[in-house]
Amino acid sequence: MRIVSRAGFALAAVFASASAAACDFVLQPDQRDIYAPGKYCLFADRDLPIEIRSDDVELDCRGRLLGNGAGSSWDAAVTIAPRRGVTVRNCRIEQWPRGVYVDRASDTQIVNNTVLRPQSVGVLVQGNDLAEGDGVRLIGNRIANYGNQGAMQPVTAIRLQGANRLEAVNNVVAGFGGEGVVHVEHSADVRLTGNQVLDFESGVGSAFYLDRYSPRTRLVHNTVTALRPYNVRGIEGDGVRDATCIENVFVNTTPSNLEQCASKRNNIEQLSPSVP
């Protein structure tokens, strides 16, 4: 029995060591700022925000919650200051004014995070407005707005400002209405690929909004489903006239405005029959 016990302890130590080796530092619940490069992990839920102020940082929340945002005096759950080589993944963020704020960072990825009921914007990217872009990518995130009472209006899921050549790929946005679910302004050559906008409510806005200073946006393989087939625009803004729209599926958007795209091919539009 003693041999088995020692073997069990040894095996547990191996697993613990492997888990610890997956990150260089465990971010403590009372630590707010990251000032040094490395891989950081969360092993507990927390209420404090996180600000990344170093190059070459990977933050893996491992599904832990950054909560209590509704009562917080801070603006964003995760802020990336003007740095390079940052990745934020696997965070669960609830009811912060801003879920993730990318402030003029470059070579940065926001991957597989869940942002629930943001009070202002789910993911905000403010770029350097460089012609060559900043190398920012939003990949596989989920942003949901169901049951968001008392939020500041309008609430936007993804807002891009001066973020040229940004890529947003395979993100899921659900339960939004208002100004624009994905709002692109002063951002050229943005690629929006494989994103889903689900349960879009009727309102004053559209699923995708492109302002006049956002030329050459590419929308490919995106899906938009509106709850009701009236007063819900799929895409709008002066930037639509310079956009490329390929193989998107828009359901119950009236109008979809896909015909306004400068280049368009194989888009699918479907209206649900009226309910008697």
How do the pLDDT tens digits run along the chain, 276 residues long?
444 444 443 443 333 334 444 899 999 888 999 999 999 999 999 999 999 999 999 999 999 999 877 666 679 999 998 999 999 999 999 999 999 999 999 999 999 999 999 989 999 999 999 999 999 999 999 999 987 765 656 789 999 999 999 999 999 999 987 667 999 999 999 999 999 999 988 666 789 999 999 999 999 999 999 887 777 889 999 999 999 999 999 999 888 999 999 999 999 999 766 544
List strand residue ranges (DSSP E) for 119-253, in order.
Answer: 121-126, 136-139, 142-144, 156-161, 167-169, 172-174, 180-185, 191-193, 196-200, 206-210, 218-220, 223-226, 233-236, 244-246, 249-251
pLDDT at 274: 52
Beta carbons of 173 and 197 less than 8 angstroms apart: yes
pLDDT at 149: 64
Write 33-40 long-range contacts (CB < 8 A, 24+).
34/59
Interatomic CA distance for residues 249 and 251, integer angstroms: 7
pLDDT at 74: 76
Q: Which H/E stretch holds residue 17?
A: helix 2-21
Name the DSSP class of 254: B
Q: Which H/E stretch holds residue 115?
A: strand 114-116
Q: Which of 159, 104, 109, 100 is nearest to 129 (CA)?
A: 104
Does the pTM of the predicted model rise above 0.85?
Answer: yes
Is residue 146 exposed (0-12), middle (13-18) or buried (19+ Cβ within 10 Å)? exposed
pLDDT at 2: 40
Q: Phi first, then psi: what are they for 28, rounded to 5°?
A: -75, 150
